[in-house]
Structure 1
Amino acid sequence: MTGRMRALGGAAVAALTLILLQGCVTTQQTSLLQQSVYSLQQQVQDLDSRVQRVESAVFGTGEGQGPGRRSLAEMNARLDALKMEVAKLKGQLEEQQRAAAPIPAPTAAPASATPAPSGTTGSQAGVQIVTPPQDPEKALYSRSLESFQKGDYENALKGFRQFVDRYPQSDLADNALFWIGECHFMKGRYQEAIAAYQDVLDRYPKGNKVAYALLKQGAAFEKLGDKTAARILYERVIQQHPQTPQAEIAKKWLERVR
């Protein structure tokens, strides 16, 4: 599983990035890029489902701070990072498409106009692609995820907290809050993890981490020995999010706390 994730992040993403950085693209190249991005998105969705199944197997053993759970947390972080890379590539593709759009016929240049740089004259001059500076929002999130992947949970926690403080309206804010909970969970600070997962539920009730936050909140209560609270939360996942992979996991975990 980890090998495939690395292959996706290394081969497919690197290939797309290389094409995007080559400068102007032809219509055929643009079409190929679109197909590649779509294919990568499909692979991410498939990988997401596989990670959920692995998670069910790992947590189904009832292990504590075992290597399986640590590896799974790292896999989830890799998956999140890969999704961000897909989004970034889509943005770069849109920029390339705009840059490659037909250029209006030039009008007569005023006498004081600055001459074109040597080697790029008239209609033969290609469109110059200027790579914009990295978005500080995405950069902070990526650095925090990287720290999490390395097992540096304290620095990851610091980074995700900064992210939530600086970018509370970001589409990634609920994800950052969720990863704050995961940092605490991985350190065995289950009360703090429960509070962070609750922040996800309270502040971003329509976000994409709601079902997962409920599930992991239940897992944290179970680690604390409160099977009643864990059972209630697992049942809530099943009732409120019946079509999600988390609901399938909750059904299995529910058997442990009945």
Structure 2
Amino acid sequence: MKPVTRTLAAFPGRLSALVLAGFWLLGAPSAHAGLFDDDEARRAILDIRQRIDAGRAATDALQAETRRLADDNAQLRRSMLDLQSQIDVMRADLAKARGQDEQLARDLAQVQQRQKDMAQGVDDRLRKFEPAAVKLDGQEFTADPAETRDYEASLALFRKGDFPGAQAGFITFVKNYPKSGYGPSALFWLGNAQYATRAYKEAIANFRSLLAAAPTHPRAPEAALSIANCQMELKDTRAATKTLEDLIKVYPESEAAGAAKSRLSKLK
């Protein structure tokens, strides 16, 4: 024990304690087993020093690794935050793009609707100038929209009792549309408007124009009867009788023929 004690006395107190602790850790021999000599003590101390240095190196390495992992973790977190920021920006850009796409889609739909409306408007306007099929007084023909408009306007005046206005309207119509399918009907109502205003001679002329232009027209028998009425108003009984007789002969199955027979009986 003395050689060890003398040897330990040569070291500082802390190192002596470490050496003693090393002895205990290494399983120091019991007192009765004997004492280490100076070489053994020196080797023990060196061994302890090596172990301590190795432990410190391992600790330093562990701490360094821990710091490196911490740095890596911090860097990873920063990278994740940057990535999340980029994702948020991309989401915002995508939402903005979607909003722009939706607005573009709405704008396109509006433009297409306006184009459709414009096309429909053009078609409607063109249709106003295109001839259309008309059925009037049992006759079918094609007429321009202007013809239909002017004819119906004049007829509306007649039905309202505005006979002078209707007369002027039908005169203008016959002049403007000499070949119109409305022609026979226009002449018929013109003659009736003139009859209503007591322009009997003018009425007779227009009724005769109807018979000459369209003798088979459904209004022809009525036109012939109207001629006879005008002649009776003019006190031309002879002419009226001849007109009624011709009416019965040419249109025997018509309602006008029945009326003509009744009037003939009164004239005779």
Structure with the largest fraction of helix: 2
TM-score normalised by structure 1 residue count: 0.49
RCO greater where, 1 or 2, for CA within 8 Å and sep 6 or more? 1
Larger Rg: 2
Q: TM-score, normalised by structure 2?
A: 0.47
